[in-house]
Each structure stands twice: as structure tokens, then as C-alpha cells.
Structure 1
Amino acid sequence: MRSLFQACHRYRCLALVSGAAEASLPDNGCGPWMRQCALAFRYLSSSTSSSKILPWEAPSRETLLRKIDGAMKDGNIDEALQAFGSYKKLHGLPEPRVLNSMIMSLSYASSRRWLQRAFDMVLSVNQININLLNGGSLMRLALALARDQMPVPASTVLRIILESGKLPDVDMLSMAFLHMVKSQMGSYLAADVLAETCECFLGHITDRRQLKRLDPIKNNVTLFNVVLESCVNFNCMIKAQKIMELMSLIGVVADVNTVVITSRVFEMVGQRDELMHMKRSIDSLTNLPFLQYYQHFYDSLLSMHFKYNDMDAAAKLLIDLHRLRKPGVFFSSGLQKQAMIQIGSANLKTGYRIMFDPRKVDKGFVLDTESKFSLVILIDGNLLHSEKALAKLIIGCVKARNMHTLSSFLITLHNEDLNGISPLDVINACIQMGWLHAAHDILDDLESTGIPVGISSYISLLRAYEKENKSEEFNGLLQQIQKIASTMDDIHTNSSFTIKNIAKIVKDDMPLIYSSLFATLVKEFEHYNPGDHLTLEFNNSILFFCKAKMMEDALCTYKRMREQNIRPTCHTFCHILCGYSSMDMHREITILWGEIKRRLEYGELDVDMDLLDCLVLNFLKGGYFSRVMEVIGYMSNHKFYCDKWKYRHVFLKLHKNLYRNLNSLHDKTEAQSKRIEHVQAFRSWAGIK
């Protein structure tokens, strides 16, 4: 106590003599100490007089705020951050105006380092008080992060906006998505954020009149088009279907771009019925503006017909495309303002519908599908089939021994004066491929309907029969030619005309010319797989049963698929998984995961990030944490992105207090101990305290 009093007394003496000269200080044994203190006091007093802050006081709030504002105006971000750090240590977080001004300044900075600092600042403020953050500044930061190809921080900021209960600015959200979808990870996150945005507000709507809150999203179809197209580009089948269902629930009026993208989704999944239903809706229009956009739709539908090995439907569609060139033939009368996209079977109550305006197209949205076209091409403003499409039709008819369909197709085009395909080219290409009986069948069908073919096709077939040493067919065709020779314009017969004369023409006068159609046939025949349509048909049946929540029928179909040695695809398991998920059958999903895992190990199944992500979500909902960590480990081993934010959100929503007080559990069984261990592992991985 005495020493404390002496120290205070000496400090008081120091203050009294601060104005005296250093030489006048008394030396009573403590002279050096007093002299040093006086010098220090003189320095401090001179400095504090200019800054008006005492040395033992912290800088005032107003001083630090002025320093932050001044540094930001001068563009001195380092100084602003330093002052901000001092303010936070001394006084906590500043008022929202200063905080959001800091975030905005960092968002407009050109360095990625400043963007990261802004993101870190948002995370720290969000943990303390989310109400201090402004939606506008957060949206600008998210856009800046997305533009700089930082999709994970960008999605996190967007999710913080959603947690605050605010709807993000949809125009800026569209721009952010445009940057995010350039990468696979960004595309996955954009799809998740869009789904979470829709579900966040749909979940709080109890009356359809409250849907007006979603009008900004409902009226911005570009938002959905951007994400849907990225789902197609990165093969995110589950996410694409979910986005389309949400469009139906919200009531989004789609445009022509949406028609194109949804048709590609249906093609990716193998949903031919939905494409055919869409065609009926399109056919009901009196005219088709933006015809170049519908080229994508017809290309997808024709591709589906070929994949299902349905040559009758393919031939009919090709005829429809030719009729499209004749106004008023293809479309019925009466203009409809809207048409419909059916999602799921129209026979199911669980189906969804998206209305689209055929006169509406967002020209600011550039559809990146130029390299997609292969079956339907646009020539002089008309949609026509390509040579590749014709080759696929010929191969399909020949392999299915369904030459009547091909002949009827050629006859219809001739009778309706729909020029574009020469029967002669088709016959000669079949002859060059060695399909002589197919060529002969087409000749007979054309001959029976009175369509002139010309001697050259008969001669080419005769030559091929002779080369193949098929004497019976050769002689039969010679006799056939003799009977109809008088009707051929390019043969002028007389009394001396004999079969021998024709045989001479075969050998000498008619050279065989190889066409481009023959080259296309050779190329397409190499890729022809007659068993592909069986996989599609089984998958489509499984999808129907899963949508109808008839899981027993879906599993029976899957068993028949295996019995017929047809290998299941990723789509097969996606359909079954989504069916189980819609019915909260999480235990059955654990069994399904075992089947998926075995096929992955044997290399019978391609690893799909969308499928694994859906598995993690369902195991989290069901509380199967050992499976959660197993799938997460599998994703990590294959360098797939694991969305910690989403998984953590699901855990906190459903299992927030699960084993919270782990130490209070006594006499635990071995199963309980393992479960607690897996929960702890997930908490540690997800960063949940």
C-alpha cells in the first residue's frame, strides 16, 4: 500500500514540474528515473494537444468513424480496414450505414483479396447480428464474387440474404447466375440457391393471394432459363427436374427459350411422352414465330424417336416438317396466347404444367446450342431434316425389317409434292450398303403405287445381284423389268428388246456412283445400337411408377430389367432415389445406396455428383449419419464439391439438439456410441459447434 502511495505521489510531482527545464529537476536518488518520465510526459503532452486525445484514453467513436469515412472516400482501403478493426475491438460493430458502406467499397475493389475480406466481414457480422447487413450491399458483393469466379462465397452471401427473410434483387441475381454457371460447381450452387429461394417463400405462403410476394421471381423467366440450361450442360438431371417443378408451382410464364431448354431436359432424361405432348401444344398454334428456336425442340423430339427405335413416329415427324413449309397445312386455325409444357404424365395427379407464351422470347438471353443441331436444320427459313436424320431412318427401318414405313414415307412425300428426298438416292444408297432386299422392297412399293422410278435403279440392283451371285433374284428382276419396260420413260423399247439387251446395259452402260447419303449411312451404322431403346423404355416405366409413388411396381420393373441383362444407368437409380425421397423412405435408400456402391466399385455405373448429393440430403433427413459420412468421403475422394452450407442447414433444421449434451449420456450401447461418433464427425466436418 505504501509503495502504491509513493508511486502516485511521484506521478503527481511529475505533472507539476512538466513545464520546468530538465536541468532544474532535483536529484534525490531517483533523478534519472524522474528525468526520463519528464521527457516522456513532455512528448505525450505535446502530441495529445494536437490530436485532443489523452494518452490513456482510446480513440473516440466519432474519431474512428471519421477516419473510416475519410479513408473510404480517398480509396485507402488498408487504412479503412485498420480503423474498422480498431472500432470493432473497442466499440463492437459500427452502425449499419458504415458497415454496408465498407462492404460496398470492398465489393467495387479490383483485387480478389479485398473481395475475400468483404466476404469474411459478412460472415463475422452474420454470426453476431444479421439485421445489421443490408440486402443491397450483400447483393452487390455476391455479384462481384460471382463475376470473379468465386461461386462458393457468392452462393453463401446469397443464402445469407435468404436467411434474413429478404428476396434478392432478381435482375442482379440473374447476372450473378450468368457468371456462376460457367463452371460445374457454380452451376450446382446456382441451381441450389434458386431452388432454396423459391422454397423459402413458398413455404411461408398459406393462401394463393400471397403468391404476389413472388411476382419478381415469377416475372423473370431468364432467371430459370439460365439455371436450367446449365443443368443440361452439366447433366444435372435431378436439379433440372426440381427447377421445372418449382416453375410450375410459382406460376412462371415461360418463353420460347424455355421450350428449347425443357425439350433438352426431356431428351436427357428420356421423357419422350412429354415431348410428344409439347408437340401437340405447339401444333395448335396458327403460326410459329421465332422458328429458329423451335429447331431445337424438333431436333430433340426426332432424336427421341430414333433412340426409342420408333421409325413410324420418326417418319411422321419428318413428313410434318416438310408440311410445315406449306402455310395452313400443319397448324390448325385459331391463335392461342399460351401453350403448355407437361411435366410428368398427364395421367397422374402429381404432374406439373408450365404455361409458355409462344410470342415471347428474351433476346438478352443467348441460348448456347449452336453445335446441338444434327437432325433438323434451318434452310431458307424452313425446318428440314438433315441427311443424318434420313440415314437414321433408313438404318432403323432396315434393321427392324420395316421397309413399309420407309416406302410409305417416300410415297407420301411424292404424292403431296413435298420435295426434298429423291427415292432414287435412297434406293441406290441401300444397294451400295448391300441391303439389296430392302432396295427391292422399296422398288416394288413405288412401282405398285405408280410412282416412276427409272431404269437406273433397276440396273444398279441387277448389277448388285450379279455381283453377289444371286442368280434367282437376278433373273426375277430381269423379268420384272421386261414387264414394265414399256412404262419407263428412259427406255425406248422396240420389237428387238430382250432381257439380253438389259444385261448388256448392266455390264457396260450404267456406272455406279457413290452418293453422300451412302457415306452418312456408313458413319451412322457404326454407332447403331439396337438395344439402347430397351434401356430407355425400362427407365421411362420406372420413372412413371416413381412419379405415381408406386414403388413396388418400380422395383418389379427394375428386377425385370436385371433379369433381361439390361444394365441400369445413372438415370435408373436417380428415378428410384427420387421416388423413395418423395415418400420419405430413407431406410430403403440405404439399401439402394448399397446397390449403387457395388456398381460403382465394379465400374458398371458412372459417378454422378447430382446423385451423390441427393443421397447425402436424404441420409441427413433420415438421420443415417454413418451413410452421410460414407457418401461425403466418396465425394471427397473423387474431388466432388461438398456443399457444407446446405448440409449444415439441413442438420440444424432437423437435428439441432441431437446429442447436444454428449457427456450426459451414460450406459450407452455400442450402437449408440457409434451413432454419437458419426454425429460428432459430421458436426466437426460441417463446423457445427
Structure 2
Amino acid sequence: MEIGHLFKDYRVDPRKKSNRPLLSMKPNSFVFSLALTGCILHGITRKGDQLLELMPRVGLKADADLLIIMAHIYEKNGRRDEINKLKRYVDETCGLSGFQFQQFYNCLLSCHLKHGDMDSATRLILDMLRKASEAKWSLTAVTSVLEAMEGARNVSDFQSHEIKNSESTDKFLLLENRAPTYAKFIKDRNFSILEGEARESLLLLSEKLKAQIELVISKDGILHPTEAIYAKLVRGFLEMNRVSDLAAFLIKASKEESPVSVDNSVVVQVIDACISLGLLDHAHDLIDEMRFSGVKVGSSVYCSLLKAYCKENRGPEITSLLKDARKAGIQLDSSCYEALIQTRVHQNDSSEALRLFKEMKLSNVSSSGSEEFKRLVESCSGHGEAGLMSKLLEEIKYNQKVDYGVHDWNNVIHFFCKKKMMHDAQKALSKMRALGYAPNAHTFHSLVTGYAAVGGKYVEVTELWGEMKKLAGSRLMKFDHELLDSCLYCFVRGGFFLRAMEIINVMEAEKMFIDKYKYRSLWLKYHRKLYKGKAPKIQTEDQYKRREAALSFKKWIGLT
């Protein structure tokens, strides 16, 4: 950031010979890629947002790698408009690899889900399935020819690629373990050793970034949605009570995806997950939607839902579902018949219980059918594989409910703060609270940086700090490093050392890193002569506290 500000708005004239050593320090796209990747992996994405704002001001044009890293920053910060604008550039950029497309569309889908835009997410997934289906037939026709022509060559290429990768990894380990001596560093005037280390570091950081991708997978250069995105979509639709829209999406997805057995289809696994979570009404509604659309769901779903109804003793729903099952030609298993008979006996309906018993005998139902649903669950979640059903159970049962409106209001407030329209930002914050949305760390970070950009608005930042402490005390908000660091910078810059020491105590208690060099430089620049003489004999209690806080801060940065 500090080096970038030297070159901001073309302050350094490249035509002057005296500026040549300074111009060699100008950050390029590779340096920004390395810094931004580090910001993503260490969770300081709002600092990454500031770096992105700095890029055009130093005259830097983003390359393909930097476009993908920008998408990660926008996704983490919930900037949906920016990532939608970026989509056009990504689609038009030549030379992007399948892995880069995978990263971008993972970010785009995640951003849609953060804002609760299920329609955009489902359109993107259906388009992905459609393109995958079209590419599959084209790929099948070409594969047989390529296998015959390039079989041997692929093996040798793969082996050489493995050797090359192992050599690069060993090289990085060597560079990491053996730092260059001072004499070698002085001789290396082109900084080739340092550049090699930086490039190896970026490769390793990119590998760590790859591990965070969970919504999209790339197979043979073709993008496919994963079980995780289906689980998040189901959760979102159910939270919004949009069961009919969920059913419509599942029907379209089942038509686009490659042929699978009825019991292993996405539709069946979603319904089974709803039953396992006790969402029986949602499961019944989905079965009705599938039946009306002509999509088969299999006997295991009807049986498991009937047994769940029997456990809760819901007579009308049992009668309705039995009628639908008979119309669909579904054969019930023995465990389902046993559950139905026990329910009728408990309801003192002996005639219906006897009729069900005779029906079971006439149908010649084998006892092995009762294990069908158990086998389905085991095939989805067993053997260490993260199947769709287990993903759904984890996503819906254990994750907290997402408040989609907060991201939209954060974007509005961020826009006003970026344009230095702080009065409008405060009005947006008041409206946000009036609608029942609680501001979070992103909200306050935008306001603090906005007031810092305007200049001199330290009293307003102090008021925000009081609100933050109240929310953190009631556990409605959690402090993070970026928010506390921005508040600390404002208070030190404005001379509010009582508040500064409060933040330092919080950060040290949470074991957060504090850049003392930065705050020492800030003190020497703005408060060098503050409280240098002896304390006055007469001073109020507030004056005494302010003086002691300033001296404590001065001692903390190591100037006394």
C-alpha cells in the first residue's frame, strides 16, 4: 500500500533519469496478485478491496490471473455488482484455463447465494449442466481418436510433468530453507533469486486457494456443479418457503443431468434429506410437484415418508399419501406395512389394520425391501464420501440461518462511503436498523474508512466505536482484525489515545497482530511534541486521563 501510494496518479515522472531506481520498485500485476492472494487466505479481504482501488491509480491493467483473484475479493466482500461486471471480461478473455473458470464461477455462485438470489444461481447451474451435456457428446466422439493417437505420448508427458512439479517443489523447499547470503544478494542486481522465491510462493498460495473451491468442479475442462451447491440451494429455497420453485429447479436439473437411477437422482436425495430433518410437509409438497410433472421418485421415498408420518401419528397425511402411492403404482415394503398396521391399531381402527395385513400377504412383500432406504443413506454418506444427502443434512441442520438483506445494505453503505457521502451512509444505516437488520463488521468498516477518507470526523468514529462495543458485548457482532486496525488508525491519527488504548487491549486479548512500526511513524508525524514537558499542576480529571493514555501509548510503541 505504501509503495503503491508513491506512484499514485502518476506522481513519478518516468521521463526523468533520476526516477529510474524508483520506477524499478513500481508494483506490477504479479506483485498485486501475490499481495491479494495473501489477503484472501489470511481473511483481510477489505484490505484487498483497498488494493483493488489503488490499481487503476498506479496505471495497472489486470491480466487473466489478476481477474480471477479480483473475483475472490469481490465474493468475500459481497460485491455482487462488481463480480457481475467482471463476468463479461472473464468470458471474453482468451487463454483462461479450466481451473481459472472453475474459480470464477465458484465465486459468482457463492456471491449469488450470499445475497439470496436463488434465481440467478439456478439459471447459472442449469446453463452449466446444459453446456456439460452438450460437451459430453462432443468429447465422447473425439476421445476414441485421441486415445489411439496420443496414448503413449500422454504417459511420457504426465511423467515429465510429475518430475517437473517435484523439481519445482524441491526448489521451493531449498529456497525456503536456505536464505541467500548478503554477498549473493548484492551480486544479484536483477533480483532473480527473490523473484524465483516470490513466484514459487504464489504457486503454493494458489494451491491453498484451490482447496477452498467447493461449489464447482472441472472435469476434462468442463464445469459441473457439486453436491455442496445443491445443498446450499435447497437450504436457501426452504428458508424462503419457495418449495414450488425448488421443485421446478430440481425437475429441470434432473432432465439436464446425465442419466442415473431413480433412487440416486438429485430429486430423491433432496426429499430424503427433508424427511431425515423432519421437514415432512416440504417433502410431501416436493413429491406432489414431481408427480404432477411426471417425474418418478421411487418407492423408497414414499415408504420413508409414510413411516415418518406413522411416527408422528398424522392420520390424514397418511391416507392422502397412500392414495397417491397407489395411483403411482408404488409397491410398499414390509417395514412400511408394519408401521401402518401399528398406527391403525393405536388408533383403534382394527378393520383398516386387518385390511392392510391382508394386502401385505397378497402382495408377497419380502422383508428385504425394508433395507432399501437404509442402503440409500449408506451409499450417500458412507465410505468417507461426501454425498449429496450428507451435504444437505450438514448444511440445513448445523448451519445458522443466513440474513441475506445485510449484504445488500452493506453494499449500499459501502457505495456511499466510497463516494464520501457520509450523511447518506448514516441515513442508510438508520434505515437498515429500522428494517430489523443488525450491522456487522463489514458495515462498520465501511463507515470508519469513509470517515477517515473525509478527514477530521474522529468524533463520529468514537460514536461508532461505542455502538460496536455494545454489539460485541451482547454477542451480536464479532470484532475482526481489519475493523479494529482501521479504528485504531483513526484514533491515533486524531489523538484519541484513550480509545486507542481500549482497542489495543482488545487486540492483544484476542492475540491479533498490531503493526507498531506504522503507529510509531504516525505518532512521530503528527504528535511528536505532544506531552513533552512536565505535567501542569492544575488539570481536570479528563485532562489527566488523556495525558496518561497518550504516555501509555508512547511507551507501548517504544518511544520512552
Instruction: Give the TM-score normalised by the residue count of structure 1.
Output: 0.55
Provide the residue aligned with 2:6 in structure 1. 200
- The 1:471–1:503 alpha-carbon spacing in structure 2 relative to 1, beyond 3 Å, is farther
How far the C-alpha of 1:197 sits from its partner, in A, is 0.4
Code of the residue aligned with 1:304 in structure 2: it is C
Secondary structure at the aligned position of 1:258 is classed as: helix
User: Whole-Å Cα distance in 2 between the matches of residues 464 and 681 of structure 1?
Assistant: 65
Match runs of 1:219-258 below 5 Å: 220-258=28-66
CA gap of 1:397–1:472, structure 2 versus 1, over 3 A, is same
- Gaps spanning 5+ residues in structure 2: where? 137-198, 331-354, 381-387
Match of 2:103 in 1: 296
Candidates 189, 204, 225, aligned match of 1:385: 225
Deviations along 1:79-129, one digit per CA (max 9) or x if unpaired, are xxxxxxxxxxxxxxxxxxxxxxxxxxxxxxxxxxxxxxxxxxxxxxxxxxx
d(CA) in 2 for partners of 1:604 and 1:483?
Answer: 51
Contact 2:271 2:301 in 1 (8 A): yes
Change (3 A) 1:425 1:620: closer
Deviations 1:503-532 (CA, angstroms, capped at 9, x unpaired)? 976975854423313333222222232244
Query: Which residues of 2 match residues 535-550 of structure 1 at below 5 A?
Result: 535-550=406-421
Identify which of 365, 378, 387 aligns with 2:202.
365
2:492 is the alignment partner of 1:620: yes
Who is 1:276 aligned against?
A: 84
Deviations 1:519-552 (A, max 9, x none): 3322222223224434434433432332343333
Structure 1 523/625 Cα, relative in aligned 2: closer, same or farther at 3 Å?
closer
Deviations 1:27-52 (A, max 9, x none): xxxxxxxxxxxxxxxxxxxxxxxxxx
- Check the 8 A contact 2:458/2:490 in 1, yes or no: yes
Q: Find the aligned partners of 1:439 and 1:552 in 2 and give their Cα distance.
A: 48
Deviation at 1:198, TM superposition (A): 0.7
For residue 586 of structure 1, what is the aligned residue in structure 2? 458
The answer to whether the Cα contact below 8 Å between 2:8 and 2:54 also exists between their aligned partners in 1 is no
Between structure 1 and structure 2, the one with the greater Rg is 1
Aligned to 2:343: none
* Inter-CA distance 569–607: structure 2 relative to 1 (3 Å threshold): same
Question: Contact 1:538–1:561 (CA<8 Å) still a contact in 2?
Answer: yes
Q: CA deviation at 1:622?
A: 2.4
Matches within 5 A, 1:18-97: none
| 8 Å contact from structure 1 (residues 311, 405) kept in 2 | no
In structure 2, the partner of 1:644 is: 516
Separation of aligned partners in 1, 2:14 and 2:24? 16
Unpaired runs of 5+ residues, structure 1, are 1-194, 330-361, 487-497
Corresponding residue for 1:356? none
Change (3 A) 1:370 1:282: closer
Encode CA deviations 1:214-250: one digit per residue, 9 max, x unaligned: 8756673221222222222222244222212112322
What does the per-residue CA deviation read over 1:278-335, in whole Å, with 9 as the maximum and x for residues that have no partner? 33443455x7731113323333333333343433333223223323425699xxxxxx
Is 1:423 aligned to residue 267 of structure 2?
yes
Q: Is the Cα contact below 8 Å between 2:115 and 2:404 reproduced in 1? A: yes
- Which residue among 109, 112, 115 is the counterpart of 1:308? 115
Q: Report the counterpart of residue 439 of structure 1 in structure 2.
A: 283
For 1:214 and 1:245, the matched residues in 2 are separated by 22
Equivalent residue pairs, number: 449
Other structure's SS at 1:407 match: helix
The verdict on how the C-alpha distance between 1:449 and 1:633 changes in structure 2, with shifts beyond 3 A counting, is closer
Deviation at 1:679, TM superposition (A): 5.4
The AA in structure 2 aligned to 1:573 is F
One-letter amino acid of the structure 2 residue matched with residue 543 of structure 1: H
Q: In 2 relative to 1, CA 636–389 (structure 1 residues): closer, same or farther, beyond 3 Å?
A: closer
Aligned to 2:132, which of 311, 318, 325? 325
SS at match of 1:365: helix
The structure with the largest helix share of the pair is 2
> In structure 1, how many angstroms separate the alpha carbons of the residues matched to 2:364 and 2:52?
61
Amino acid at match of 1:576: L
> CA 1:379 to 1:505, structure 2 compared with 1: closer, same or farther past 3 Å?
farther
Check whether the contact 1:299–1:374 (CA below 8 A) recurs between aligned residues: yes
C-alpha change, 1:501 and 1:206, in structure 2 (3 Å) is same
**In structure 2, distance between residues paired with 1:293 and 1:505:** 56
Inter-partner Cα distance in structure 2 for 1:426 and 1:544: 39
TM alignment of 1:388-407, pairs within 5 A: 388-407=228-247
The 1-side partners of 2:415 and 2:390 are apart by: 39
Q: Which amino acid aligns with 1:223?
A: V
> Shift in Å at residue 573 of structure 1?
1.9
SS in 2 for 1:581: helix
TM-score by length of 2: 0.66
Q: Do 2:270 and 2:392's aligned partners in 1 also have CA atoms closer than 8 Å? A: no
Whether 1:519 aligns to 2:390 is yes
Counterpart position of 1:472: 316
Contact 2:406 2:438 in 1 (8 A): yes
Q: CA 1:463 to 1:579, structure 2 compared with 1: closer, same or farther past 3 Å?
A: same
User: CA distance change for structure 1 residues 442 and 233 in 2, over 3 Å: closer, same or farther?
Assistant: same
SS in structure 1 of the partner of residue 211 of structure 2:
helix
Which residue does 2:338 correspond to in 1? none
Q: Which has the higher contact order (CA 8 A, sep 6+)?
A: 2
Deviations 1:114-150 (A, max 9, x none): xxxxxxxxxxxxxxxxxxxxxxxxxxxxxxxxxxxxx
Q: Distance in 1 between matches of 2:403 and 2:123?
A: 21
Structure 1: how far apart are the matches of 2:134 and 2:92? Answer: 14
1:463/1:506 contact within 8 Å kept: no
**Cα deviations by residue, 1:563-616 (Å, 9 ceiling, x for unpaired):** 666554322321221121121222211222233344455655434333232223
Which deviates more from structure 2 when the two are superposed, residues 670-679 or residues 198-207? Answer: 670-679
- Contact 2:7 2:58 (C-alpha < 8 Å) held by counterparts: no
How far is 1:196 from its partner? 0.4
CA distance 1:456–1:630, shift in 2 (3 Å)? closer
- Tell whether the 8 Å contact from 1:319 to 1:413 is kept in structure 2 after alignment: yes
